[in-house]
Structure formats: C-alpha cells, structure tokens
Amino acid sequence: MSSPQDYREPLDAARLTEELPSFNGPWTAIEIVPQTGSTNTDLLEWAARGLPEGVVLVAEEQTAGRGRMGRSWVSPPGAALTFSVLLRPEALPPARRPWLPLVAGIGTVTSIRMLTGLEAELKWPNDVLIGGRKVAGILAEAAGNAIVVGIGVNVSTTLEELTPGPGGLPPTSLLAEGVPVHRDLLLIEILRSLGQWYKTMAAEPDPQRIGLLAQYHKLSATVGRGVRVELPGGQSISGLATGIDADGQLLVEADGGMYQIAAGDVIHVRLAATGGRTVLYGDFGRRAVAPCPHEQGSDAGAG
Ligand code: BTN
C-alpha cells in the first residue's frame, strides 16, 4: 500500500518546463510556488497588469484557496494539484467563453480517466465526480478581457483530511479511490487537453462542429438526470436535464417548459417513471431563471 507522502513530492519544475514545447501553445510558462493565498487571485492581479496569455501558476499550498459562490477550497500542502491558467480568448465570441471552464472540466475528467482508469464524470457545469463524490472543482473568473481558470484536484488527500464543503457533495481523492498519481503527470495531461480544446475552439467556435458538445454529453453525469438547480438568486428549478446548448448552458425541462441555465448549483435527484409520466423526487415549481453575469459559467460548489 502506497503512502500519501509518496504522492506529495514537490512538483518537478524542470521537467514541467521541458514539456512546454510539446504542447505547441497556448502555454508559455509554468511557474511553481511553494505557497500562496490563491493561484486564481494571483493570476487575476497579473492579468490586470497586462500579463499575456499562456501563463500557468501552480501552488504546492494555498492558504486562501477559493471555490465557487464565495466558498473556500482547502487542501493540505502537496495533497492536491492546485493551479490556474491565464487566457485571453480574443478569437472566441463572448457567448462561447462560458465553455472555457467546461473544457477545463473535460480535460480534468479525461486526464483522470486516462491516468487512473477511474470512471470520472462531470456534474454540470464542471464539478468532477467519481462515484458521486467530488474529486475536483473549477473556478473561472474574468479580469477585463482575460479569463483565469483555476483547477483543484484532490490527489493524495486522505479520508481523514477530506472534509465535505458547504456545497454538500461528499468529497473524495484519487488516493481514496485507490489510484493516486503523481501530480506532474496529471498537470501535463490536463494542460495538454485544455490547450488542445482551446486552440480548436479559437479556430472554430461552434461546439457542435468540433465535437465539443458530443464530448461534454458523453462525460456528463447530469444530462439525462433529474436535477434540482439552485440559482444564484436563491430560487430553484426542478426538472429533467436534457442537454447542454451551444453556449454551454444546461437545458432543463420543467413544468412543461424548457429552461436555459447559465449558472447555479445542480443537485442530482432520482427519477421515477409512473404510468408513462416522468416524475422527480424533490420539490417543483416554475420560477424565473436568473443568469449570473459575474461568473463565467463556472460554478461547482467546493464540497
Ligand atoms: C469549486 O469547486 O468551487 C471550485 C474550486 C476551485 C479550486 C481551484 S484550486 C486552484 C485555483 N485557485 C483557487 O483559489 N481556486 C482554484
């Protein structure tokens, strides 16, 4: 049985930098710091000062890690892969920018699957789950035309160290699932996937044409499920998640109508079929959908 410490070796800066040319863009530099408050906060500041896109900032430890909806992201030093990337998606129409955190989610899921064989999947918009437990979260924030996408993956966090966050999802880690990996490898794979999708979207922003919609649907644990969506304004909608639209919004069929959800917390609920009708366990009610303009379609509760 391997020990958590085996997977908490400091990240290998020289090796990661050597890998840079193999990505063929957009990544220009990988900076690793032993400790910072939040890699997202740092990159937002750097973006405001005009830093060009492509910088990746990784922290061995965050002392003020942030999650969606004002939540915190907490992890012991070296136990999680915590990093942010700075993008300036000038070639992407604004309506398609909410895809960036979704693409980061796709990259995280496919990398975990490839390196561990675990059945990671996406809870809309970009929580990464294994067996219904949250292993990774993503926070995207804008600073002018720049977008900072931050990713946190629980790698060697032990069961004792994992605490459920206010979002209510039970947490897990790759170690807790029995397949820890070295964080360098995971970082390389996530950057490779995110970078490829980013370049593809910049060349052709239609998510259907480039197979992005199909890939998201394939990895989604939400589409086809009964959901209750808690909206940023405190309202909620219960219904059937039928798909994702071209702008990355979740489509929810509820009370005879179709809702497009731009941001919110999704809770998966169980469906039951009765006499040819689909019934959801949970409360119902037709409410207005309030989009959340300050977030880039990110939003996955930390926990
Ligand atoms: C969530 O699940 O609510 C999102 C969590 C995002 C955590 C990552 S860790 C790296 C980056 N820096 C932060 O402060 N947050 C993100």
List the chain domain ranges.
4-217, 223-280
Confidence of residue 183 (pLDDT cuts 50, 70, 90): very high
Ligand 1 centre to CA of 138 (Å) is: 5
- pLDDT surpasses 70 at 278: no
State the distance from the centre of ligand 1 to the C-alpha of 139, rounded, in angstroms: 5
Q: What is the pLDDT of residues 21-55, one digit of tens each?
A: 999 999 999 999 999 999 999 999 999 999 999 99
Q: Would you say residue 299 has pLDDT above 50? A: no
Question: pLDDT class for 168, splitting at 50, 70, 90?
Answer: confident
Tokens of 272: 């039951």
Whether residue 59 has its Cβ less than 6 Å from ligand 1 = no
Establish whether residue 302 lines the binding site of ligand 1, counting it when its CB lies within 6 angstroms of any ligand atom: yes
What percentage of the chain has pLDDT greater than the value 70? 88
Quick one: CATH architecture of 4-217?
2-Layer Sandwich (3.30)
Per-residue pLDDT, 232:
86
pTM (two decimals): 0.90
Q: What angle do CA 133, 60, 98 make, to 5 degrees?
A: 55
Substitution candidate for ligand 1 out of 61, 66, 75 with most atoms within 8 A of CB: 66
CA of 280 to the centre of ligand 1 (A): 31
Q: Among the residues of 86-135, which ranges form H helices?
A: 99-116
- Ligand 1 mean position to 278 CA, how many Å? 36
Residue with tokens 């990988």: 30
* Model confidence at 288: pLDDT above 70: no
pLDDT at 165: 61
Q: Which residues pair with 277 in a beta bridge?
A: 274
DSSP at 72: B
Compute the distance from residue 178 Cα to the ligand 1 centre, in Å: 23
CA angle in degrees (0–180, nearest 5) for 27-32-35: 140
Q: What is the mean pLDDT of residues 165-179?
A: 87
Cα 103 to ligand 1 centre (Å): 15
137 lines ligand 1 (CB under 6 A): yes
pLDDT band at 98 (very low <50, low <70, confident <90, very high): very high
Provide the residue type at 212 as one letter. Answer: L
pLDDT score recorded for residue 273: 52
- Asked which of 97-111, 185-199, 229-243, 275-289 is least confident by mean pLDDT, the reply is 275-289
Judge whether residue 19 has pLDDT over 80.
yes
Give the per-residue pLDDT at 233.
85
Q: Could you read off the pLDDT of 238-267 as tens digits, one per residue?
A: 999 999 999 999 999 998 899 999 998 999
Is 71 near ligand 1, meaning CB less than 6 Å away?
Answer: yes
The reported pLDDT for the residue numbered 163 is 80
Q: Does domain 223-280 have CATH number 3.40.640.10?
A: no
Q: Pocket of ligand 1, candidates 35, 45, 73: which has the most ligand atoms within 8 Å of its Cβ, to mutate?
A: 73
Atom of ligand 1 nearest to the CA of 38: 14
What is the dihedral angle through the alpha carbons of 126, 192, 8, 112, rounded to the nearest 10 degrees? 50
Take atom 9 of ligand 1 and give the residue whose Cα is closest: 152
C-alpha 234 – ligand 1 centre gap (Å): 22
**Is the alpha carbon torsion for 103, 222, 58, 78 positive or negative?**
negative
Report d(CA 155, CA 186) in Å as an integer.
9
pLDDT band at 287 (very low <50, low <70, confident <90, very high): very low
